[in-house]
Structure 1
Amino acid sequence: MSSRLDTGLAGRVTRPTRSWATWALAHGIGNAFLARAVRKGDPLARLLADPVLNADPFATYEVVRATGPVLKTPVMSGTVSHAAANQVLRSPVFGVGSGHGELPPLTRRVLDRVMDPDALGPMDPPSLLAVDPPDHARLRRLVTREFSARSVAAMEQRVTQVAESLLERIAVDHPESFDLVDEYASQLPVAVIADLLGVPEESQADILAWGDDAAMLLDPLLSWRRYRIAEASVRRLNGWFRNHIENLRADPGTDLLSRLATMQDDDRMDDHELLAVGLLVLGAGFETTVNLIGNSVVQLDEHPDQLAIARERPDLWPNVVEEVLRFDSPVQMTLRSAYADVDVGGHAVAKGEPVVVFLGGANRDPEVFTDPGRFDVTRENANEHVSFSSGVHYCLGAGLARLEGAVALRTLYERFPDLRVVGTPVRRGTRTLRGYESIPVTTTASRAMRAA
């Protein structure tokens, strides 16, 4: 590639070159530095980029914890301390750095110039994940009502109806075994999110597939191959949402996106903001809940004594969800950039310095959780986890995710009391999002074992 960006006849950067330049700036350069740091044994680099730790990062979290509240390496700073995590996430001194806080300011400015607006993802402005106050406060206020405690409680009947319908279909189509992710864990949240966004049933399969690929953009460092897959899907999502928003303006429904698209006051969202809301609600509300349900089933299968407790005490299902969120968080890390010199846990963080908050590590801090490596569905303070972040960027859909998780598990084990995981679940390749691509289960395992 030449040192000068190739341009078309209209003087615009061509799509392939723009895509490559975006990847190189946002991912490629960082990949090269991280690969070298991984070879040198840098624990933060390993947590970010070493595939060996994808299945089990927890021992390395303890290596970082042993160094103190904050570890600074040649790569960046990171923390697995619950107290330091809360300080970073809640402090106005830290921000999201336009979604790319790990990059130097000059690199971010160049990235903004070359990025294709048709390929903006959930980590790019004006997404709520990529903007700080006051823009963040304005956008969040416009969508908060849909995720209030009252609104979420009103959705319980619909979530239960969807779950029971899915399980009834599974019982007919797959009476002995099925893939939990394909048939249940992914189908439940996509139906709920479709209600929020007004997605017609005939489009839900496409939205699910594109959203699954686009979620890779939540990872800070992607290979060129995976970036191209994610970018292609996010382009399709952007195109679909543009048409969808136009249709909703002409014929609005009662869903969240219809209300936002037809607002007339001074706070109304422009098209870019509406697209960003759609992508974020889809990505954050769908992907994390899929992982929450899948991680829950795997943990309960690996801890049958805890499953027995939950089944004997159905009132515990909400706390089961909290313990899974703590023990095996669907989101393992987030990043903040310091906007001024600041002290975190006795460690000096300089202006512009990125800090990775390893949520999965903070959730196992022995200063907060007794015997943190033990999975305990009766844990009284399980809900003190930071899996939904904290501060102004606390997850907007936390209440809905909790509801979906509790309903999904309760109805699943009521319908299939003999459900067991069989074979080996296949993990997703993402590092920020922790979950499974496939979880093979059987509904007749216990009966088969008794017969044997």
Structure 2
Amino acid sequence: MLTRTWTRWLLMHGFLRAFARLSARRGEPLGKLARGPDGLLGSSPYIEEIRRLGPIPKMSGVHITADYEVCRTILRDRSFGVVSPNHPSLPKPVRWLLAKTDLGLPNLGEPPSMLVTDPPDHTRYRRVVGQAFGPKAIATLEQRIAEVADDLIDHLESKPRPDLIGDFSARMPVTIIAEMLGLPAEMHSTLLKWGDSGAPLLERGVAWSTYRDAVEDLAEVKEYFDRQFDGLDDEPRDDVLGMLAADDALTRREQVSNAALLLDAGFLTTVNMLGNGIALLASHPEQLELLNAEPWRWRNAVEEILRYDGPVRMTGRVANHDVDVDSQRIPAGSLVLLSLAGANHDPAVFPDPHRFDVTRENAAEHLAFGSGIHGCLGSRLARLEGSIALPALFDRYPHLRLDGPPIPHPLRNLHAYRSMPVELGVRAP
């Protein structure tokens, strides 16, 4: 098992880490992006260097873009597929090895996770659970989200040194998604642990020790959801797990893999958005003051948080066949890296893009949740949670301030904080 796991890590991550080191030594922007956590920021000088090279330059054998229109076009174009370990563009020996080392675990970054599958499978998976994340279903959660947010805020005062990640930003979305999936409250801490260890698998080029630890937790995730689905065979439910279980066209592996994806994606994005938003507002008191005076701007403020410092910085697509983008030929099998953070800081679309401005008129045009058929399924839920939780927090504690610099999560592509100690200040009457 260990040899198989190591071989899979080498194919999925190890070679890429070595390639990134070589590219960085050559001084190429792509290598700098891959090696440093700050390289993927929308305001990074490496992103701006790529932007100066043109809409979709090629370097180190791959195309890369920070251009908003190019990113949006590719995300919506069915001529491009997601980056997957079984994509036909990979050499046959690599695909053979990946098939032989398949661990059979619910890895978010591997099929049959809908995140890395294309139609028709992607269509099947998304159709099963799409209704639970539709506008009407999400609207019914508004009152419950407000209750959970208020309850967590009430408990902050009892903490000697409140941490707005562990005590608030993580707890709120995991409570909501667990209830949507029909999972008990006593599992919340375990779910957060699994989410924290599984998050690096959404990236490429992770260290061996990180991958090994994540795989160990994934075995627990698989065992847990297998038991859940076994129980659903005898007692059907109308929650999201019940929807997956009721579809006879899905295999057990497809059910477990997409349940794990919905669990992690259901709170990871929101945890990161809330943490990034709190840090931004605490460091831009004039923007927070404006929101206190004009609270109707909070929904737009959430969009500007997502634009300015979105939870996902980059994604990738593979050309399914020869295709022209912005008058440039992209050959079949070519990898195209899309800097979502760069697109969200494109001055051609967002004037003065490096300024955080909650009144920005077109903030909602950001690509933080992607676009097209792979647009984030939970985007409505994340937006609603942000527009309720953030004003609730700052209404209760208008003088809240950071107690030292927030501790960032050691990830490159997923921008998040691991810890954010604060001083609450005087509670509002």
Instruction: Give the aligned residue type for 2:292.
Output: R
SS of structure 2 residue aligned to 1:215: helix
Asked if the contact 2:39–2:47 (Cα under 8 Å) also holds between the matched residues in 1, the reply is no
Asked if the contact 2:85–2:98 (Cα under 8 Å) also holds between the matched residues in 1, the reply is no
Q: Which of these residues, 370, 374, 399, is aligned with residue 393 of structure 1?
A: 374
- Alpha carbons of structure 1 residues 309 and 133: separation in structure 2 relative to 1, 3 Å: same
Instruction: Give the aligned residue type for 2:284.
Output: H
Q: Which of these residues, 335, 338, 348, is aligned with residue 319 of structure 2?
A: 338
TM-score, normalising length: structure 2: 0.95
CA deviations on 1:136-192 (whole Å, 9 max, x unpaired) are: 112111111001111111110111111011111222x22x64110000000001001
- Alpha carbons of structure 1 residues 298 and 45: separation in structure 2 relative to 1, 3 Å: same
380-389 vs 44-53, greater mean Cα deviation: 44-53
Aligned: 1:283 with 2:264: yes
CA shift at 1:302, angstroms?
A: 1.3
Instruction: Give the aligned residue type for 1:291.
Output: N
Equivalent in the alignment of 1:361: 342
76-85 vs 54-63, greater mean Cα deviation: 54-63
Q: Which of these residues, 106, 112, 117, is aligned with residue 99 of structure 2?
A: 112
Equivalent in the alignment of 2:191: 207
CA shift at 1:98, angstroms?
A: 2.6
Equivalent in the alignment of 1:407: 388
- 1:128-139 aligned at under 5 Å gives the runs 128-139=114-125
CA shift at 1:54, angstroms?
A: 6.5
Distance in 2 between the 1:283 and 1:102 partners?
28
Distance in 1 between the 2:426 and 2:35 partners?
37
Distance in 2 between the 1:169 and 1:445 partners?
15
Aligned: 1:237 with 2:224: no
CA shift at 1:75, angstroms?
A: 4.2
- 1:344-383 aligned at under 5 Å gives the runs 344-383=325-364
Runs of at least 5 residues in structure 2 that lack an aligned partner in the other structure? none
Q: Which of these residues, 380, 384, 390, is aligned with residue 365 of structure 2?
A: 384
CA shift at 1:109, angstroms?
A: 3.6
Distance in 1 between the 2:372 and 2:85 partners?
16
Aligned: 1:247 with 2:226: no
Aligned: 1:308 with 2:294: no
Equivalent in the alignment of 1:178: 162
After superposing on structure 2, the runs of 4+ consecutive aligned residues of structure 1 that deviate more than 4 Å are 54-57, 99-103
Instruction: Give the aligned residue type for 2:57.
Output: L
Instruction: Give the aligned residue type for 1:253.
Output: R
Equivalent in the alignment of 2:36: 50
CA shift at 1:210, angstroms?
A: 1.1
Asked if the contact 1:26–1:103 (Cα under 8 Å) also holds between the matched residues in 2, the reply is no
- Alpha carbons of structure 1 residues 370 and 51: separation in structure 2 relative to 1, 3 Å: closer
Equivalent in the alignment of 2:62: 76
Equivalent in the alignment of 1:228: 212
Asked if the contact 1:78–1:358 (Cα under 8 Å) also holds between the matched residues in 2, the reply is yes
Instruction: Give the aligned residue type for 1:319.
Output: N
| Identical positions, percent | 39
Aligned residue pairs, count: 427
Q: Which of these residues, 5, 17, 26, is aligned with residue 31 of structure 1?
A: 17
- Alpha carbons of structure 1 residues 405 and 271: separation in structure 2 relative to 1, 3 Å: same
Instruction: Give the aligned residue type for 2:18.
Output: A
Aligned: 1:140 with 2:121: no
Aligned: 1:125 with 2:100: no
143-152 vs 52-61, greater mean Cα deviation: 52-61
Asked if the contact 1:94–1:338 (Cα under 8 Å) also holds between the matched residues in 2, the reply is yes
Instruction: Give the aligned residue type for 1:198.
Output: G
CA deviations on 1:105-145 (whole Å, 9 max, x unpaired) are: 3323421221210x340111111111111111121111110
Q: Which of these residues, 172, 186, 189, is aligned with residue 188 of structure 1?
A: 172
SS of structure 2 residue aligned to 1:141: helix
Aligned: 1:165 with 2:151: yes
Asked if the contact 1:211–1:233 (Cα under 8 Å) also holds between the matched residues in 2, the reply is no
Equivalent in the alignment of 2:419: 438
Distance in 1 between the 2:218 and 2:413 partners?
18
SS of structure 1 residue aligned to 2:329: strand
CA deviations on 1:301-348 (whole Å, 9 max, x unpaired) are: 111111111111111111111001000010111110111111222332
Q: CA RMSD in A?
A: 1.9
Distance in 1 between the 2:358 and 2:43 partners?
22
Asked if the contact 2:37–2:411 (Cα under 8 Å) also holds between the matched residues in 1, the reply is no
SS of structure 1 residue aligned to 2:84: helix
Runs of at least 5 residues in structure 1 that lack an aligned partner in the other structure? 1-14, 448-452
